Chains A and B, each alone.
Chain A
């Protein structure tokens, strides 16, 4: 199974993440942890949970970047520095190196929908797949000694015991800002594909040649407020209070 399925898979299920609205709230992070720690495979453990070196296994994490335009100024409008919140989980790459490096076949990409999974019963915990992933999407669970990664909530999206609307990944369902979207990126007519086309969705680290399924939507372009300063709306109509009150009188007559 280590070989990748013959490409492309009939469906390419994945996420589309909208950087224009992600507020960095970490809701998806905890929801993911919560769903998956009692679900697919071993629990997502936490080491030293109430101590100095607390750390745990997470399948989805939010990084926060600061983007500073060249010669940017801090205050004002044009070209100032900004913060971009950046969620990251497995991108379910088409050319997934994490799958091909796996010596045991534990790591595999589903032929049907392209989801990249780890069959924990085969995993020896060698960690090589995590090394091969440029995105940091795999984390070894230190308690179970097996590799964990985003499952695309495979145990939700096909789960017939859930209502149809709920058959989406936990992180997508919970995101308060609606920054996460789930769908078939192999189907050009799907909502996610359309979103990607309209908003210029892109790949992370295209140079790695992994051809991620997940896409990111860039922050929308912004129009500075100062650009409206000169608009006709505020053309000076009154020069003094008297003129203003005269105008008021006229207005009152019309009411």
Chain B
């Protein structure tokens, strides 16, 4: 699948945003501190930016509102609905935090749940597609949720350390989630890389009873929408290299940096946590890029044989 910039930005940013918002909703941090207030604003900004980015790849963004209508069957629609719905508790929580400096438990918790649900919906847009076997697994939403949670706690630890309260708790939880997320992702990758193709040129053409089927001529010589959109291929060896890079940057580095923060504490903690977030975000971008680039669409059985 073509790793569209807008979609990578969208899933990464909104994942981080929802993660942070969800953690904030738990009320672990002191809502009266400036850094937590800023964290609330940051979460909303990331969510909004992500959502805006997602409209960039639309052919007719002016009609985007229509995407809210089909929540009965469409994960994309559900995601839209949830995204908008979650704004209610999130802004309420943020409002109270920023203006009144306190945490509103009911709204906060509702926000946390809805953030989770939104991330789940996002993941299910991909996870529900049978045509893309790599994505079509329960591991996909699990990864998305774990990455969001890890991101949330990472960001929260920055806020925690800078506000001087609960930094280490957040960092410790973040480490747990980071580790869990990458274990889950590793499983996802193992699955992807050992997958027996669900659809083959033989099943795609129904000609398997005659022999081995191989594409001889494409319908049209040049690339078309389908091959551009779904025919993206990344060489296996590059994929392996990149996935290691993702783990290093998005897993190992944040964990080490958070350990430094926890152990060193003091003035080193904030920069370490901030650095951890950046490393994590970079790893996540690589992970998302691979998420698309490595996934093979069933339609390519018709184009590659």
Contact = CB atoms under 8 A, between A and B. Distances in A.
Does chain A touch chain B in the assembled complex, meaning CB atoms less than 8 Å apart? yes
Interface of A: 1-3, 19, 26, 29, 53-58, 61-70, 72, 81-84, 86, 88, 97, 99-106, 122-128, 130-136, 139-142, 144-147, 202-209, 216, 218-219
A133 B299 contact: yes
Nearest to A126: B58
A145 B66 contact: no
12 contacts: A3-B73, A68-B212, A68-B214, A82-B210, A101-B75, A103-B67, A103-B70, A124-B64, A128-B125, A133-B131, A135-B299, A136-B303
Contacts of B210: 67, 69, 82, 84, 219
A2 B70 contact: yes
Given A88-B302, A135-B299, A136-B226, A205 B203 contact: yes
B86 to A, nearest CB: 17
B209 to A, nearest CB: 8
Interface of B: 1, 57-61, 63-64, 66-70, 72-77, 80, 125, 128-132, 198-199, 201, 203-207, 209-220, 222-226, 229-230, 297-299, 302-303, 305
A64 B74 contact: no
A159 B72 CA distance: 34
Given A128-B76, A206-B203, A136 B230 contact: yes
Contact of B66 (A70, A122, A208): A122
A86 B76 contact: no
A132 B129 contact: yes
Given A125-B58, A135-B299, A140-B59, A61 B73 contact: no
A146 B58 CA distance: 9
Contacts of B219: 26, 29, 58, 61-64
B158 to A, nearest CB: 34
Nearest to A87: B219
Contact of A68 (B72, B76, B80, B211): B211
B212 A104 contact: no
B217 A205 contact: no
Contacts of A72: 211
A3 B219 CA distance: 32
Contacts of A208: 130-131, 198-199, 298
B60 A134 contact: no
Contacts of B218: 63
A124 B216 CA distance: 35
B225 A140 contact: yes
A81 B212 CA distance: 9
Nearest to B208: A67
Contacts of B75: 101
A135 B77 CA distance: 23
B222 to A, nearest CB: 5
Contacts of A99: 73
A134 B74 contact: no
A132 B74 CA distance: 11
Contacts of B299: 133-136
A101 B121 CA distance: 12
A33 to B, nearest CB: 11
B298 A205 contact: yes
